[in-house]
């Protein structure tokens, strides 16, 4: 369970403006944890910050930033070098849109790599070192079923979410007993604004979790890593973690077409 004593006094939420990030910000504010919220759209950031300040009276700092940028860590550090970040949360999809890898520009493919691999690693390394030295803290990321199987038209997104998951599985083992918690919540579908805008169709294998339930699970289960799936997504996780990789890749290719993700 996330607590002010173990995971405060500040939480840094990358992707803290809407959906799961907004639900987390509200819940953390209620625990008395101050917030640094990072996302691109300033309006949504400001609205979430104002809501949490008004409801819970905690300090909230905001930064409008595309975390695919080269200078991400430096920009985020400008807001955090004078405070103690006890909780790092990575809630960014980070894809540059979907489509066949070779039909998209190199730079477009690199967006997920920058957001979820290069800059995620930089953030984890920087804030994780300080947590380990203090002997307390936590790291939460939101992964994807797509990180457990290669999805046609999702190549760099899938690969980047696999990176997130395996990085945190490794880190969880390395930090065992240090006081620093690590968990990756691997989502099938969640009712985020981004998903609502995308036109993705529902599918029985991916029951749509509410953002409130996902946020609640992440904060409640932080000590029970390294990986959890939302209730109802166990079957999807098992479907893609099979030895027959051709079967797994064919299954997700068919499902993504049915769900209008292409």
Ligand X SMILES: NC(=O)c1ccc[n+]([C@@H]2O[C@H](COP(=O)([O-])OP(=O)(O)OC[C@H]3O[C@@H](n4cnc5c(N)ncnc54)[C@H](OP(=O)(O)O)[C@@H]3O)[C@@H](O)[C@H]2O)c1
Q: Which residues are catalytic?
A: 157, 161
Told to check if 93 binds ligand X by CB under 6 A, we report yes
Region near ligand X per CB under 6 A, out of 32-40, 75-83, 176-184, 228-236: 32-40
Told to check if 15 binds ligand X by CB under 6 A, we report yes
Told to check if 126 binds ligand X by CB under 6 A, we report no
Told to check if 20 binds ligand X by CB under 6 A, we report yes
Told to check if 245 binds ligand X by CB under 6 A, we report no
CB of residue 65 to ligand X, shortest distance in Å: 6
Token representation of residue 121: 């690693």
Told to check if 115 binds ligand X by CB under 6 A, we report yes
Query: Whose Cβ is closer to ligand X: residue 6's or residue 14's?
Result: 14
- Is the Cβ–Cβ distance between 190 and 208 less than 8 Å? yes
Number of residues written out for the chain: 262
Question: Which residue in the set 195, 203, 216, 251 belongs to the binding site for ligand X (CB under 6 A)?
Answer: 195
Told to check if 229 binds ligand X by CB under 6 A, we report no
Told to check if 91 binds ligand X by CB under 6 A, we report yes
- Is the Cβ–Cβ distance between 19 and 194 less than 8 Å? yes
Region near ligand X per CB under 6 A, out of 101-109, 165-173, 182-190, 246-254: 182-190
Q: What phi, psi does 31 have (nearest 5°)?
A: -85, 0
Told to check if 40 binds ligand X by CB under 6 A, we report yes
Told to check if 94 binds ligand X by CB under 6 A, we report yes
Cα separation, 160 vs 157, in Å, equals 5
User: Closest Cα to residue 88, out of 35, 32, 119, 127?
Assistant: 127
Cα separation, 87 vs 140, in Å, equals 8
Q: How far is CA 132 from CA 61, 85, 139, 178, 218, in A?
A: 24, 12, 11, 7, 20
Number of residues that bind ligand X (CB under 6 A): 28
Told to check if 92 binds ligand X by CB under 6 A, we report yes
Cα separation, 155 vs 234, in Å, equals 23
Region near ligand X per CB under 6 A, out of 40-48, 75-83, 122-130, 173-181: 40-48
User: Closest Cα to residue 2, out of 221, 185, 205?
Assistant: 221
Could you write out the DSSP letters of every residue in 57-103? ---EEEEE--TTSTTHHHHHHHHHTTS-EEEEEE--------S-GGG
Binding track, positions 139-178, relative to ligand X; x by CB under 6 A:
---x-x----------------------------------
Handedness of CA 89, 219, 1, 140 (dihedral sign): negative
Region near ligand X per CB under 6 A, out of 2-10, 59-67, 123-131, 220-228: 59-67
Q: Which residues bind ligand X (CB under 6 A)?
A: 15, 17-21, 38-41, 44, 65-68, 91-94, 115, 142, 144, 187, 189-190, 192, 194-195
């Amino acid at each position: 369970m996330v607590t002010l004593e173990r995971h405060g006094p500040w939480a840094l939420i990358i992707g803290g403006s809407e959906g799961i990030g907004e639900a987390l910000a509200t819940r953390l504010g209620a625990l008395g944890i101050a917030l640094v919220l990072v996302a691109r759209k300033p309006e949504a950031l400001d609205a979430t910050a104002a809501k949490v300040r008004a409801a819970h009276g905690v300090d909230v700092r905001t930064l409008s930033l595309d975390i695919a940028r080269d200078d991400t860590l430096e920009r985020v550090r400008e807001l955090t070098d004078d405070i103690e970040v006890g909780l790092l949360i990575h809630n960014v999809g980070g894809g540059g849109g979907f489509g066949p890898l070779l039909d998209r520009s190199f730079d477009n493919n690199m967006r997920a790599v920058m957001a979820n691999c290069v800059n995620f690693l930089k953030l984890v390394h920087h804030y994780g070192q300080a947590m380990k030295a203090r002997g307390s803290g936590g790291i939460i990321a939101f992964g994807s079923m797509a990180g457990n199987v290669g999805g046609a038209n999702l190549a760099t997104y899938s690969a980047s979410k696999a990176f997130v998951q395996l990085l945190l599985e490794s880190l969880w083992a390395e930090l065992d007993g240090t006081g620093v918690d690590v968990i990756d919540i691997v989502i099938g579908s969640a009712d985020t604004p981004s998903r609502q805008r995308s036109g993705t169709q529902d599918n029985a294998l991916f029951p749509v979790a509410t953002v409130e339930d996902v946020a609640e699970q992440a904060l409640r289960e932080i000590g029970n890593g390294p990986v959890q799936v939302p209730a109802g997504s166990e079957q999807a996780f098992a479907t893609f973690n099979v030895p027959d990789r051709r079967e797994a890749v064919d299954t997700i290719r068919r499902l993504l077409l049915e769900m209008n993700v292409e």
